[in-house]
Copies of this chain bind each other. A is one copy, B any other.
C-alpha cells in the first residue's frame, strides 16, 4: 500500500525523501538489529541483477570466485599497520563461542564465561588480512601468478549513524583480491577494474561517473593508491560508487608472501583489491528517482513492463486477459520481463501509483476501448506525468517493437538526464571565495586548483564540509595556483560534499 500518503518532495527534504522512498518502494528497511538492514525481495532482485552483470564482467576479465572465512583473528588485522589503524575503531568482536542457561533467570541465556576465546575474532570489515595470509601458501613461483580472485560476501563495519544502503553496519559486497609478479601488472589490474566499475555504472545503472585517484588522506587503509568512481546525486552531493586499490607490496610484506621470479630471485608479491557494495543501490535510487517514486533503468529493473487491466465486468477482464496473455508471451520471447497485475482488490489508479513508486520503466494499460480499437496505452516512467511523450496509444500489432525500442530509449534518456544534471551542477572555482560561494548557493561538484597537501585539504573540509572526491584521470593538465595557498598545481581536482 505504498502510496497511501505521498512521498516527501526532493526539493523540501531530500534525505527524508530518500529514506521514505527506499521503504515504500519495498527495497529495504531497518532491522531490529542496530545498524543492520533487511533487504526486501524487490530490492534484492535489483541487487541480483547488479551481481549478475558484475559477475559476468569479472569472469570475462579472467577472475574466478572463491570464499574466505568471515572471521579475522585479531593478530592478522594487526599485521599491516595502516590497515589495522583504519579499521580498529569499527570492528565487531567475537569473544566467546557458547551461551548457557542463566541460572539466575529462568528461560534466559547468558554468555558462558568458560567459552572465552584465547584470541578474539573480528567479523571481517574487509578480507585483505585473511586472504594474504592464505596467498602465502599458494604462491611460490612466478608460475603461480597472477591470482585473480573475487568473493561475494557480507562485511561488518560498526557505524554509529546508519542510512539504508548508504551506510549500514553490515553490508553486502564483492571484494576482488589479486596477486601479481610486478608493480606494472598490479597497476594494470587496478585500472582495469576501475574501468569495469565505470562501465557497469554508466551502461547498466545509467549513472555517469568521474574516474579518478584519491588523495593520500582518502586512500584505503593499507593501499599505495586508491582509484575511484564518483557519481553525482540529485542533491548535488557526490557518492563514491566503487574503489580499486593498488596495494603495492604492503600486504605481501605484512604476511611474508614472496615468489621466485624469472631471474630466480625471491621477491615480494604485488597486490590489488577492489570492491563495490549494496551502496550502489543507494546511488541508483538517488541518481534517477523522482517525487513519485523510483525510476529504474530497464537494464536493472526486475520488472520491465507492467500491464494493468481496466475493466468493470468479469467478461471484460477475460477478454483483456486473452489479449494480455499473448502480449506477455511475445515480450518474454524477447527476454523482456513482464508482470500482469491482476490484483482484484485494488483500483487501476492505485496500481498506477504503486508501480510508479517501484519504478517499473514501462506501464501498459488496457481497457474496453482499447480492445475495440486494437490499441493499448503505453506510459514511460522516465518522463514526468503529463510531459510530452509520457503516454501514448499504440496499435497492439506494433507493441513488441515499440516496447523494445522504448526500453532502449529510456535507458539512454535516464543516463542523459543524469549526465546533463551533472554538467549543469559542475562548476569551476577560481578563488576560495568563489569556491565557498558555489558550495553555499549551488552545491554540486567544484573543480579547483589544490596544492597537493593534506593540510590544505583538511582546512577546506573543515570550513566547507567539501572533500576532494578525486583527482580526475581525464582532468585537463594545466598550471594553476591553489585556491588556498597559491602554491602551484598541475590540474584542478574535484571537490564536493559527499555521502
Query: Which residues of A are in contact with B by a Cβ distance under 8 Å?
Result: 31-33, 36-41, 44-45, 47-48, 64-74, 76-78, 81, 84, 88-101, 107-109, 111, 115, 120-123, 130, 133-134, 143, 149, 153-154, 156, 158, 170, 172, 345
Partner of A95 from the list B37, B96, B101, B109 (CB cut-off 8 Å) is B96
Partner of A67 from the list B38, B68, B100, B123 (CB cut-off 8 Å) is B38
The complex places the Cα of A436 from the Cα of B331 at a distance, in Å, of: 63
Cβ A33 vs Cβ B71 within 8 A: yes
The complex places the Cα of A170 from the Cα of B48 at a distance, in Å, of: 23
Question: Which B residues lie within 8 Å of A93 (CB)?
Answer: 94-99, 111, 115
User: What are 11 contact pairs spanning A and B, CB under 8 A?
Assistant: A32-B130, A33-B130, A38-B69, A44-B65, A48-B65, A71-B92, A77-B99, A84-B109, A93-B99, A97-B158, A99-B122
CB-nearest residue of chain B to A97: B158
Question: Which B residues lie within 8 Å of A122 (CB)?
Answer: 99
Question: Which B residues lie within 8 Å of A41 (CB)?
Answer: 64-66, 149
6 smallest CB-CB distances across A and B, nearest first, come from A36-B69, A41-B64, A39-B67, A88-B99, A97-B158, A33-B69
Cβ A130 vs Cβ B31 within 8 A: yes
A80 to chain B, nearest CB (A): 11
Partner of A40 from the list B38, B66, B107, B154 (CB cut-off 8 Å) is B66
The complex places the Cα of A65 from the Cα of B298 at a distance, in Å, of: 20
A438 to chain B, nearest CB (A): 38
CB-nearest residue of chain B to A36: B69
Cβ A31 vs Cβ B64 within 8 A: no
From A40, A70, A89, name the one whose CB has the most chain B CB atoms within 10 angstroms. Answer: A70
From A33, A73, A122, name the one whose CB has the most chain B CB atoms within 10 angstroms. Answer: A33
Question: Which B residues lie within 8 Å of A78 (CB)?
Answer: 107-109
The complex places the Cα of A101 from the Cα of B149 at a distance, in Å, of: 32
Question: Which B residues lie within 8 Å of A45 (CB)?
Answer: 64-65
Cβ B101 vs Cβ A69 within 8 A: no
Question: Which B residues lie within 8 Å of A37 (CB)?
Answer: 69
Cβ B95 vs Cβ A95 within 8 A: yes
Not counting A31-B69, A32-B76, a sample of 4 additional A-B residue pairs whose C-beta atoms are within 8 angstroms of each other reads: A33-B73, A44-B66, A45-B64, A93-B96
A67 to chain B, nearest CB (A): 4
Cβ A67 vs Cβ B44 within 8 A: yes
Question: Which B residues lie within 8 Å of A156 (CB)?
Answer: 70
Partner of A100 from the list B71, B88, B94, B115 (CB cut-off 8 Å) is B88
Question: Which B residues lie within 8 Å of A170 (CB)?
Answer: 69-71
Question: Which B residues lie within 8 Å of A108 (CB)?
Answer: 78
Cβ A94 vs Cβ B123 within 8 A: yes
The complex places the Cα of A66 from the Cα of B158 at a distance, in Å, of: 22
Cβ B88 vs Cβ A97 within 8 A: no
Say whether, besides A32-B73, A65-B45, A345 and B123 are in contact (CB < 8 Å).
no
The complex places the Cα of A108 from the Cα of B70 at a distance, in Å, of: 21
CB-nearest residue of chain B to A67: B39
The complex places the Cα of A95 from the Cα of B120 at a distance, in Å, of: 10
A92 to chain B, nearest CB (A): 5
CB-nearest residue of chain B to A37: B69
The complex places the Cα of A100 from the Cα of B91 at a distance, in Å, of: 10
Question: Which B residues lie within 8 Å of A81 (CB)?
Answer: 107
The complex places the Cα of A84 from the Cα of B102 at a distance, in Å, of: 12
Say whether, besides A71-B33, A94-B94, A120 and B130 are in contact (CB < 8 Å).
no
Question: Which B residues lie within 8 Å of A143 (CB)?
Answer: 345
A49 to chain B, nearest CB (A): 12
Cβ A31 vs Cβ B92 within 8 A: no
Question: Which B residues lie within 8 Å of A345 (CB)?
Answer: 143
